Amino acid sequence: MFRRPPPQGPKDLAMRQVLSVKRRRGLPTLKQWGALPRLLTRRERLLALSCLLLFVLSASALGTWYVATHRLEIPAEGGEYVEALVGEPQFVNPLYSTASDVDADLARLVYSGLLRFDPKEGLVNDLAEKMEISEDGKTYSVTVRDDATFHDGSSVRAKDVLFTITAIQDPAYRSPLEVSFRGVAVSQVDDRTVAFSLEKPFAPFLSTLTVGILPEGLWGGIPPRNAPLATRNLEPIGSGPYKFASFSKDKNGRILSYTLARYAAYYATPALIDTLTFKFYADGNDAQGALENRNVEGMAFVSSDQEEAVAKNRNVTLLRPSLPRVTTLSFNQEKAAALKKPEVRKAIALALNKQAILEDALSGRGAVVDSPILPDMVGYAPDVAWPTFDPAASMALLEKAGFPKVDGSDVRTLPKDLYEARKKAAGEAGGSTTNEFSLTLKTVQHPELIRTAERIATQLADIGIKVEVAAVPADELLADVIEPRDYEMLLTGTLLGLDPDPFPFWHSSQASGKGLNLANYGNRKADTLLEEARQSTDEATRAAKYEEFQSLLAEDLPAVFLYQSAYAYAVSSKIRNVDIPRVITPSDRFANVTSWYIKTKNVLR
């Protein structure tokens, strides 16, 4: 009745296993997949293998495409940069570093202040977490951020700020910054807060708070008179993005190189470049030679004479950020009676072709200016009427003022009263004293300024004024020329500060001794405007007063403003993300050094 089913072959069994998938309504098991090839013909197996291979290749291509299109190269830690500096470090200490570009460069990297200069934003918080200014503008309360540490691991606190400022104010330390904090009372409110109390409002005060902060725990036990001798001046501990690593000396004790390492615990974004090494040279020519020989990778400063050669070096990028340095021709009316005449001062201003002077001095790399307040500063007034180049008008003014050319001479003669005054000053009754209209122009022994002075002499000769150029060694300028005001005309480059306060250069109180009012300018209305402007914290108020001040300068013409210099910096082309639109001092090139990088790594986005 019951028959045994006929035997099933391997093929029938495999078929049942495959078909069972349909009954279960699920995915095939591994065993079922393994049986599939036995059900396929040779042709079907080749087709399936081809499809599988095509799938693998497509997936691989898709994966490669995805990685290629979604791969992102980002900055990574690592690398070393070697830069040439002219000079030698001595005081890598914010109490003294402003006196030397080398010290200022190193201190800028090692130390940090309550505020810092940003090339795009101006003054921004650094160690300061927040700042409150009283309504009367005389009290500044600053809270130090909680996460800032010195390179020895100790926390930055209010006591460190208090120590630093009081040390600057202490005459025993002999800090050149003492004048900046004169009349400022500083006190500790709590562990993280300090208060600065001013005798009267002073708008430029905030710019003084960029000074680096010293660790009180390391410096507090050193007597002030011994501070300049302390080893910490060359082995500093600060709270900046880089920490001291080492320096090397030759057998004579001269420092040859100085190395800084990135501080991984830096409170802001830590730097990416591992080490910065600086090598020191006697002058710019030696530094340029080291760059050409690849002993260094960059130069802190490239003079106008070197720019063409350095620009051809493929291993560097030559940057030219703006620098608030104004080259000025100042008139000393007390030394040269002819300059007391407004017509003469205006005639000289009209005779000067500033663009031609700029071409000679800096090969055109800079900007012609008319005012001591530059375009990017508070109070710049482009509508003020300054004299513009007009030699014909200049000569007409001199004729009208009584300085004629006689008997076809190229040099004008003095009016009788000035000629008699010259003879009297010379102690002669007549004789060899000439009545030629001549002036002496003094400047410092520097190629750029000498070229500028010689060009001025040539242009003034074209209108009949004879000019003798006298170049003075830099180390003699202050004592022998500026302090005794021993010049008729003086050509100088003035580096303005972070705040455009013209008070130090144009207030009558600064017109003698070491004061920087080199034109001995005295105008009561101008004095009042400068005093009121620096006491106002309202930018619009300051701008209005500075504009009125510039109108007075344009009318009185105590000096002629010639051009604004550019700062040339050669940095290694291997360093990326170097963006320096402007600097206040050369050390400001490191304002955003933490964003520079050499190494990169790839990540998927």
Would the pLDDT of 224 be above 60?
yes
> Is residue 160 domain-shared with residue 254, that is, in the same domain?
no
Domain contains 276: yes
Which of the listed residues 215, 232, 249 is the one where a domain comes to its end?
232
Q: How sure is the predictor about 54, in pLDDT bands with cuts at 50, 70 and 90?
A: confident
List, in sequence order, every beta strand (DSSP E) within 100-253. 115-118, 122-125, 128-133, 139-144, 184-190, 193-198, 242-249
> How far is C-alpha 367 from the geometric centre of its chain's CA atoms?
17
* Residue 51: band (very low, low, confident or very high) from pLDDT cuts 50, 70, 90: confident
Note whether 530 and 401 are same-domain residues. Answer: yes
User: Are 162 and 284 in the same domain?
Assistant: no
Is the residue at 49 inside a domain? no
Q: How many CB atoms lie within 10 A of CB 375?
A: 11
pTM: 0.80
Q: Which residue segment(s) compose the domain that 547 sits in?
A: 323-566
In this structure, what CATH number is given to the domain that contains residue 250?
Answer: 3.40.190.10
Within a domain: 477: yes
540 and 497 both lie in a single domain: yes
pLDDT value for 407: 80
Average model confidence (pLDDT) for the chain?
91
Grade residue 69 by pLDDT with cuts at 50, 70 and 90.
Answer: confident
- Give how many domains the chain has, as a whole number: 3
Q: Is there a single domain that holds both residue 116 and residue 105?
A: no
Domain limit, last residue, from 232, 267, 283: 232
Q: How confident is the model at residue 16 (pLDDT cuts 50, 70, 90)?
A: low
Q: What is the CATH number of the domain that holds 166?
A: 3.90.76.10
Tens of pLDDT, residue by residue over 153-199, are 999 999 999 999 999 999 999 999 998 899 999 999 999 999 999 99
From 515, 525, 594, 510, select the one nearest 556 (Cα to Cα): 525
| Model pLDDT, residue 147 | 97
Q: Is 404 exposed, middle or buried (0-12, 13-18, 19+ CB in 10 A)?
A: middle
Q: Are residues 386 and 533 in the same domain?
A: yes
Q: CB neighbours (10 Å) of residue 14?
A: 17
Over residues 440-482, the pLDDT tens digits come to 999 999 889 999 999 999 999 999 999 999 999 988 888 899 9
Q: Domain containing 555 — which CATH number?
A: 3.10.105.10
Which candidate, 130, 182, 128, 197, places its Cα nearest to that of 160? 128
Q: Beta-carbon neighbour count of residue 289 at 10 Å?
A: 14
Q: Does residue 13 lie in a domain region? A: no
